[in-house]
């Protein structure tokens, strides 16, 4: 399966009160959950638990699309919208159980040309949580992708072989991020920083983006224009991955202010889950019903930290539909870059 992503540009106007307040946007950190990876050959049910898992004795090939939207321009200084994919880092976070992981970057330009990055990115000999950086020496995709990174790119993804695992201990991808250079002359590796985060940015998702959490749920959870519906006779678990807001030059400890989940039928039981690079799970208490708007809401804000995966887990009763969700979360400051 090949997932095509087109640019969705977000215009940003920056008002400079003083010279240091200019937004230079040196790098956009584009973050995606492992649950947004998809199988390249759909020979099994697409089961996701916020991550993408491999419980099999053989490796599993997946494609992890990078959300290229959210990289806005700047008016002072003038920095145009992004069409290239020059990057300082491209990290993928995973758990190795048995056989090794392998990953490479892949991009397609507007003319249909496909460029591959360096093929030689393998996990090390250790078992457990690891990461790979697909950008060599902070400036080199390798392969044919590097000399063509300035092309007008319409799609960027990471192709991975997930190593083997077992049903009791599956290998998995937690998440991945790309430090995409806005200003090619002043682009640095994204670092962690918590000074002055923006208080509230919004992300909206459709129930169609949700996935079954078990192989049994894959039989009874069906997608349509209405969202994801449980057509079975018993409650089934779904996971709805959340695309994190793009961080401007600084990665920060994220704070989720609110989640609004919309549904029809009997209310599902839902909670917010974040997964760290070491596999640590951070989760909220169950959402509560808000009668005025007929929706479920996150009962209190949740700090998810430097999360690699962010998703809503819902136990969906028979006949109920998860229609969609709106999430309010913090973002990084946008002055000065790194």
Q: Report pLDDT for 18.
A: 34
What is this structure's pTM? 0.81
Backbone phi, psi, residue 233, to 5°: -100, 0
Q: Report pLDDT for 199.
A: 59
- Give the confidence band of 15 by pLDDT, cuts at 50, 70, 90: very low
- Give the confidence band of 37 by pLDDT, cuts at 50, 70, 90: confident
Q: Is the peptide bond before 249 cis (omega within 30 degrees of 0)?
A: no
Q: Per-residue pLDDT for 75 more than 70?
A: no
Q: Report pLDDT for 198.
A: 61
Q: Per-residue pLDDT for 9 more than 50?
A: no
Q: Report pLDDT for 187.
A: 67
- Give the confidence band of 22 by pLDDT, cuts at 50, 70, 90: very low
Closest by alpha carbon to 267, among 210, 214, 318?
A: 318
- Give the confidence band of 35 by pLDDT, cuts at 50, 70, 90: confident
Q: Per-residue pLDDT for 327 more than 90?
A: yes
Q: Report pLDDT for 166.
A: 93
Instruction: Say which residue, 247 or 145, is predicted with more confidence.
Output: 145
Instruction: Say which residue, 204 or 261, is predicted with more confidence.
Output: 261
Determine the straight-line distance between the first and last CA of the chain, rounded to whole angstroms. 37
- Give the confidence band of 34 by pLDDT, cuts at 50, 70, 90: confident
Computed over every residue of the chain, the mean pLDDT equals 82
Q: Per-residue pLDDT for 333 more than 70?
A: no
Q: Report pLDDT for 62.
A: 93
Distance CA 297, CA 289 (A): 6
Q: What is the mean pLDDT of residues 115-128?
A: 96
Instruction: Say which residue, 128 or 44, is predicted with more confidence.
Output: 128
Q: Which residue reads 């990289």 in tokens?
A: 71
Bridge partners (DSSP) listed for residue 269: 315
Closest by alpha carbon to 48, among 162, 180, 194?
A: 162
Closest by alpha carbon to 338, among 138, 117, 132, 48?
A: 138
Q: Report pLDDT for 11.
A: 32
Q: Per-residue pLDDT for 275 more than 80?
A: yes
Instruction: Say which residue, 60 or 78, is predicted with more confidence.
Output: 60
Task: Write the secondary structure of the chain as one string of H (helix), E (strand) and C (coil).
Answer: CCCCCCCCCCCCCCCCCCHHHCCCCCEEEEEEEHHHCEECCCCCCCCECCCEEECCCCCEEEEEECCCCCCCCEECCEECCCCCCCEEEEEEEEEECCCCCEEEEEEEECCCCEEECCCCEECCCCCEEEEEECCECCCECCCCCHHHCCCCEEEEEEEEEECCCCCCCCEEEEEEEEEEECCHHHCCCCEECCCCCEEEEEEEEEHHHCEECCHHHHHHEEEECCEEEECCCCCEEEEEECCCCCEECEECCEEEEEEEEEEECCCCEEEEEEECCCCCEEECCCCEEECCCCEEECCCCEEEECCCEEEEEEEECCCCEEEEEEEEEEECCCCCCC
Location of each CATH 2.60.120.260 domain in the chain: 19-189
- Report whether 154 contacts 84 (CB < 8 A): no
Distance CA 173, CA 27 (A): 24
Q: Per-residue pLDDT for 45 more than 60?
A: no
Task: Report the top-level CATH class of 198-331.
Answer: mainly beta
Distance CA 211, CA 51 (A): 11
Give me the CATH code for the 19-189 domain, please: 2.60.120.260
- Give the confidence band of 47 by pLDDT, cuts at 50, 70, 90: low
């Amino acid at each position: 399966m090949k997932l095509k992503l087109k640019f969705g540009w977000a215009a940003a106007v920056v008002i400079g009160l003083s010279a240091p307040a200019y937004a230079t946007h040196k790098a956009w950190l584009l973050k995606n959950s492992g649950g947004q990876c998809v199988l390249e050959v759909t020979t099994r049910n697409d089961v996701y638990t916020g991550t993408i898992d491999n419980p099999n004795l053989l490796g599993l090939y997946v494609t992890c699309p990078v959300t290229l939207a959210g990289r806005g321009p700047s008016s002072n200084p003038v920095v145009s919208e992004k069409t290239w994919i020059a990057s300082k880092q491209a990290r993928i976070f995973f758990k190795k159980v048995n056989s090794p992981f392998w990953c490479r970057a892949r991009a397609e330009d507007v003319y249909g040309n496909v460029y591959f990055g360096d093929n030689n990115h393998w996990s090390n000999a250790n078992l457990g949580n690891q990461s790979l950086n697909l950008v060599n020496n902070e400036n080199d995709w390798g392969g044919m992708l590097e000399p063509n990174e300035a092309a007008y790119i319409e799609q960027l993804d990471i192709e991975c072989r997930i190593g083997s695992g077992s049903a009791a201990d599956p290998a998995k991808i937690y998440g991945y991020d790309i430090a995409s250079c806005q200003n090619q002359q002043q682009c640095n590796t994204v670092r962690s920083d918590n000074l002055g985060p923006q208080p509230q940015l919004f992300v909206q998702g459709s129930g169609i983006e949700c996935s079954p959490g078990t192989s049994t749920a894959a039989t009874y959870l069906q997608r349509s224009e209405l969202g994801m519906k449980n057509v079975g006779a018993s409650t089934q678990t779904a996971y709805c991955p959340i695309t994190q807001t793009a961080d401007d030059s600084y990665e920060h400890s994220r704070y989720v202010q609110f989640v609004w989940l919309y549904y029809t039928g009997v209310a599902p039981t839902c909670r917010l889950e974040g997964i760290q690079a070491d596999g640590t799970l951070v989760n909220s208490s169950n959402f509560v019903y808000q009668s005025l708007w007929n929706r479920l809401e996150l009962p209190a804000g949740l700090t998810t930290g430097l999360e690699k995966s962010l998703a809503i887990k819902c136990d969906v009763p028979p006949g109920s539909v998860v229609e969609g969700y709106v999430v309010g979360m913090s973002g990084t400051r946008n002055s000065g870059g790194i």
